[in-house]
């Protein structure tokens, strides 16, 4: 059994991303994992100010939900980042959330070239939805995920589900007309299957 924390950066209640997250969570729950979903709409997390107070032993100075989420991040085996595609990348809510990892980094005198600190060891995955479904639709989002979360922060990638063709936000979510929800359920169910 693993602890899985899903960070939901989607906008609409019962929107495409919300439905994708719930399908993934149900699969993971069925497989016996402990799953928690945190909505960044209900729990506001602002971007990092770069004040560096956290580098002098203080909690983050921002007055929002992040400090309460930190113990959940620490306890989790896996962080799942879920977002609609906004202007060809992750939503600003997810970006702001990731910026705040700055305050959970620790000094690392032996960091490899190009890395300046050490982050907690976690698995990670990416869930995304978009209106379009071209071969390049998710390119920037995937590039950010791989570069920042996997290569830089050092999380261990356990996969991505890139759900294109879900319809735009000027109407009802269309994800239930696609195969993405059953794929997400299966993805969640098999996330730790060897």
**Would you tell me which residues interact with ligand FMN (CB under 6 A)?**
10-12, 15-18, 84-88, 129-132, 137, 166-169, 173
- Closest to ligand FMN by CB, 121 or 139: 139
- Closest to ligand FMN by CB, 173 or 188: 173
- Closest to ligand FMN by CB, 108 or 132: 132
Q: Please identify the residue of the shown chain whose CB is closest to the bound ligand FMN.
A: 15
Shortest distance (Å) from residue 173 CB to ligand FMN: 5
Shortest distance (Å) from residue 19 CB to ligand FMN: 8
Handedness of CA 22, 142, 38, 123 (dihedral sign): positive
- Closest to ligand FMN by CB, 42 or 58: 42
Shortest distance (Å) from residue 36 CB to ligand FMN: 19
- Closest to ligand FMN by CB, 111 or 133: 133
Shortest distance (Å) from residue 27 CB to ligand FMN: 18
Handedness of CA 85, 6, 68, 72 (dihedral sign): negative
Shortest distance (Å) from residue 167 CB to ligand FMN: 6
State the SS3 of the chain.
CCEEEEEECCCCCCCHHHHHHHHHHHHHHHCCCEEEEEECCCCCCCCCCCCCHHHHCCCCCCCCCHHHHHHHHHHCCEEEEEEECECCECCHHHHHHHHHHHHHCEECCCCCCCCCEECCCCEEEEEEECCCCCCCCCHHHHHHHHHHHHHHCCCEEEEEEEECCCCCCCCCCCHHHCCHHHHHHHHHHCCCCC
């Amino acid at each position: 059994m693993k602890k899985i924390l899903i960070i939901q950066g989607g906008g609409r209640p019962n929107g495409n991303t919300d439905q994708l997250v719930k399908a993934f969570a149900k699969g993971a729950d069925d497989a016996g994992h402990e799953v928690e979903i945190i909505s960044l709409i209900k729990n506001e997390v602002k971007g990092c100010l770069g004040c560096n107070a956290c580098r002098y032993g203080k909690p983050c100075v921002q007055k929002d939900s992040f400090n309460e989420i930190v113990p959940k991040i620490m306890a989790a085996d896996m962080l799942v980042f879920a977002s609609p595609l906004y202007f060809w990348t992750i939503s600003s809510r997810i970006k702001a959330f990731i910026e705040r990892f700055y305050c959970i980094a620790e000094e690392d005198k032996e960091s490899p070239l190009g890395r300046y600190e050490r982050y907690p060891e976690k698995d990670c995955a990416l869930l995304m939805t978009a209106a379009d479904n071209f071969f390049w639709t998710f390119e920037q989002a995937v590039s950010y995920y791989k570069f920042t979360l996997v290569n830089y922060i050092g999380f261990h990638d356990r996969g991505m589900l890139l759900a294109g063709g879900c319809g735009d936000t000027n109407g009802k979510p269309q994800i239930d007309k696609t195969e993405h929800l059953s794929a997400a359920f299966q993805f969640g169910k098999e996330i730790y299957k060897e």
